[in-house]
Amino acid sequence: MVNEKKRTPKFKRTDFSKYSKLGVRRKNKQVYRRPKGIDNKINKKMKGHLRRVMIGFKNESKSRGLIDGMEPVMVFNVEGLLKVAKGEIAIVAKVGMKKKAEIAKVALEKKIRLYNLNSKKFLDNLKKVEKEKEEKKAKMNKKKKAKDKKAKEVEKKEAEEKETPEGVPSEGKEGKDDKESVDDKVEEKPKKEGKDKKKEEAKDKSEKKKTTKKNTEEVLKTPAGVSSEGKNDIKTNNYGRGK
């Protein structure tokens, strides 16, 4: 049995948490560099600061480079995965999606542990993506068919319009226009009748006004003593000035 590795601290450079270029939210930039300043707290080994690389942190040669006491092996394809022995752990190399899926399937069947890939989760996600792609493709095909159908109908109508002679109206738009014109005429008749009634009413009103005007004029023209019938009711017209 190989001895377990020592728990070593993470060695990082000075001010790695202050600047983006030195490693803030960028793990690939978090590299160790030797502290060089005279008053550098890491260099002085002050309490509460980062640790400096020095003798004593190294692991034993037997346990060095192991992952959970197992030797890592790079896997590029299914053949390489099948060669993984008992005390070894597989690391999937940078390969394409097709090869990755093949490796994950075989690893699930043979129960081989992969260090940097959860084969079950990966395959489930792959199935979801494929299903979404198929649905999208089906939708696109449906839209395309509908579009083609519409275009064919338009072409058919145009061809029919060209075939029909100029004098004869086609069954399409021109027939519809004729029907609409007949309907409009039917609607116009009651409108005209209503207009005629209004005109007659206006004439009656104007005649009544004229008759009332004539009556008032006649009343004004007759003398004060004489009534409209011609009898002398009052002989004098003194208006309070005496007889």
Position with higher pLDDT, 213 vs 135? 135
Q: Which residues pair with 70 in a beta bridge?
A: 67
Run of H or E including 89: strand 88-92
The answer on pLDDT for 45 being more than 90 is yes
Kindly tell me the burial class for residue 95, based on how many C-beta atoms sit within 10 Å of its own C-beta (0-12, 13-18, 19 or more).
middle
Residue (of 11, 116, 105, 5) closest to 54 by Cα position: 11
Amino acid occupying residue 205: K
Task: Tokens for 70, please give them.
Answer: 């197992």
Measured N-to-C along each axis, helices 119-163 and 97-110 cross at an angle, to the nearest 10 degrees, of 130
Please give the pLDDT value at position 120: 94
Mean pLDDT, all residues of the chain: 82
Q: Is the pLDDT of residue 3 over 80?
A: no
User: What are φ and ψ of residue 81, in 5° steps?
Assistant: -65, -40
pLDDT for position 8 = 84
Element (H, E) at 88: strand 88-92
Q: How far is CA 8 from CA 4, 28, 75, 175, in A?
A: 12, 19, 28, 91
At residue 194, the pLDDT reads 67
- Which range of 1-5, 52-56, 59-63, 229-233 scores highest in mean pLDDT? It is 52-56
**Which residue's entry shows tokens 């109206």?**
169
Residue 236 has pLDDT above 80, yes or no: no
Stretch 175-201: mean pLDDT: 63
Q: What is the pLDDT of residue 117?
A: 93
User: How far apart are the C-alpha atoms of 93 and 185, rounded to whole Å?
Assistant: 83
Residues 6+ apart with CB under 8 A from 74: 80, 91, 93
pLDDT value at 175 more than 70 = no
Among all chains, which residue has been given the structure tokens 């449906």?
Answer: 142
